Structure 1
């Protein structure tokens, strides 16, 4: 397993070096879009606008949304590209099971993506003046978000296996992701509070906003709910991927495009 991870990590690093222009363009575009929204909001509200910790919370949601998009496109996009190049069947014939193979590839790619996300977060912080804290408690909260993100990514990957072309679905789904990660569902009350706990990645994103932007310590009960949320969506995504793999093989469409 370690050998597979190191091989995929080397593959991701080589791709980053060979297509570094695309990575730099992604950082620039993502940062410019957020900064444009920031300037627009400040202009509309006038010179007396005081964001407080709300700006920090919005930055966290936006950066998490960017990371989730990377993860989605990494799993579903990889499956689609492998199908286009005709190498998808070779991957499914490898000694490793397809879910393990693509999960290891996604985790190896995550190490590269986190570097890009750190660059985006650093530039946004410089432009907007946000001051986020990074206590150790942010790591378990971040892990719950990753679980939910990979669960949704494998769910989209199952559609990619069956349909081959999912660009339009990914384009529509990214707006739903923005709602899940940018809206402060942790501030909801009553029935809406229950809905916020059921939405994928929302409890973990709320924990990260509390810890990084508001200075609230990590509570065991809130972390347990976020972990349960992430674990359920991760298990659901892997289950859908396994079912899609079996159905694709049954139809004989694994090698087709």
Structure 2
């Protein structure tokens, strides 16, 4: 598995080097999005965070959204691109299962996207203001686990209906209010059952840690972790069912 992840990382780096203009423009666009989120979130959603925590909350929000967006959209986009290029059949006839290939690509995507986010934070000069703590990072990781399950689900839909761009955009950009606003902290604090909602629980706990909000507890973290594992398992199992259905239809290579 580690060899697959390394090969996917190498593939991503080679693609970035092969298309320098696209890589540069993508970096500039992501930097612009970071500034837009940093200055637009307060205007759109408001914040009651202390001034010394704003930078950390902004980075956590941006990091969580970017990584979850990549996980949700990556697998479906990869399968659509493989189908358009006529190479999707090779993923099914190789010695490795499609699930392992997609999982390796997800891990590699998280590493690449996380590195890009770290570079952006370093470039804008906010690294010294960031005060991340382990419980906050672990809570964000639970959101990534849920996103990976959603990514498998959307990948299965892509195998069946072929074009899922609108659905993927709806899912990824629909995450923005949950990821960017600090309201999730109040939600889980007022109604503990909100911990069961995808992304709301993990991001709410991550920000509760940073804000020192009483909504954070190891019990709440354990509940959210169990729920995130369930969401991942559901997405993984549904992808397996839809993969089998697509194979039985004989439409894997159709686009």
TM-score after normalising by structure 1: 0.84
Please show how residues 155-166 of structure 1 align to structure 2 within 5 Å. Answer: 155-166=153-164
Q: Considering only aligned residues, what root-mean-square deviation do their CA atoms show, in Å?
A: 2.9
- What is the CA-CA distance between 1:75 and the residue it aligns to? 1.1
Give the structure 2 partner of residue 228 of structure 1: 226
The structure-2 alpha-carbon separation of the partners of 1:222 and 1:179, relative to structure 1 and needing over 3 Å to count, comes to: same
In the alignment, is residue 66 of structure 1 matched against residue 66 of structure 2? yes
Q: 2:135 aligned to 134, 137, 142, which one?
A: 137
Deviation sequence 1:78-109 (CA, Å, 0-9, x none): 01100110111110111111111110121123
Q: What is the CA–CA distance in structure 1 between the aligned matches of 2:140 and 2:38, rounded to whole Å? A: 24
- What is the CA-CA distance between 1:230 and the residue it aligns to? 1.3
Q: What is the CA–CA distance in structure 2 between the aligned matches of 1:197 and 1:172, rounded to whole Å? A: 22
| Corresponding residue pairs, total | 249
Give the structure 1 partner of residue 185 of structure 2: 186
Confirm or deny: 8 A CA contact 1:80 1:164 kept in the other structure.
yes
Q: What is the CA–CA distance in structure 1 between the aligned matches of 2:34 and 2:99, rounded to whole Å? A: 34
5+ residue gaps, structure 1: none
Give the structure 2 partner of residue 172 of structure 1: 170
Q: What is the CA–CA distance in structure 1 between the aligned matches of 2:81 and 2:108, rounded to whole Å? A: 18
- What is the CA-CA distance between 1:36 and the residue it aligns to? 3.8
Deviation sequence 1:194-241 (CA, Å, 0-9, x none): 2x2122122111222233x32569632121022112101110110111
Give the structure 1 partner of residue 82 of structure 2: 82
Task: Give the match's secondary structure for 2:219.
Answer: helix
Deviation sequence 1:137-157 (CA, Å, 0-9, x none): 334223212111101111111
- What is the CA-CA distance between 1:5 and the residue it aligns to? 2.4
Give the structure 1 partner of residue 239 of structure 2: 241
Give the structure 2 partner of residue 95 of structure 1: 95
Give the structure 2 partner of residue 111 of structure 1: 111
Give the structure 2 partner of residue 214 of structure 1: 211
Confirm or deny: 8 A CA contact 1:180 1:200 kept in the other structure.
no
- What is the CA-CA distance between 1:130 and the residue it aligns to? 8.7
- What is the CA-CA distance between 1:256 and the residue it aligns to? 1.3
Task: Give the match's secondary structure for 1:121.
Answer: helix
In the alignment, is residue 14 of structure 1 matched against residue 14 of structure 2? yes
Larger deviation, residues 245-254 vs 140-149: 140-149
The structure-2 alpha-carbon separation of the partners of 1:115 and 1:43, relative to structure 1 and needing over 3 Å to count, comes to: closer
Confirm or deny: 8 A CA contact 2:63 2:117 kept in the other structure.
yes
Q: What is the CA–CA distance in structure 1 between the aligned matches of 2:101 and 2:199, rounded to whole Å? A: 23
- What is the CA-CA distance between 1:14 and the residue it aligns to? 1.3
Q: What is the CA–CA distance in structure 2 between the aligned matches of 1:189 and 1:43, rounded to whole Å? A: 23
In the alignment, is residue 201 of structure 1 matched against residue 199 of structure 2? yes
Larger deviation, residues 55-64 vs 79-88: 55-64
Confirm or deny: 8 A CA contact 1:62 1:178 kept in the other structure.
no
Confirm or deny: 8 A CA contact 2:196 2:224 kept in the other structure.
no
Deviation sequence 1:91-140 (CA, Å, 0-9, x none): 011111111111012112321121012123344663xx993312233342
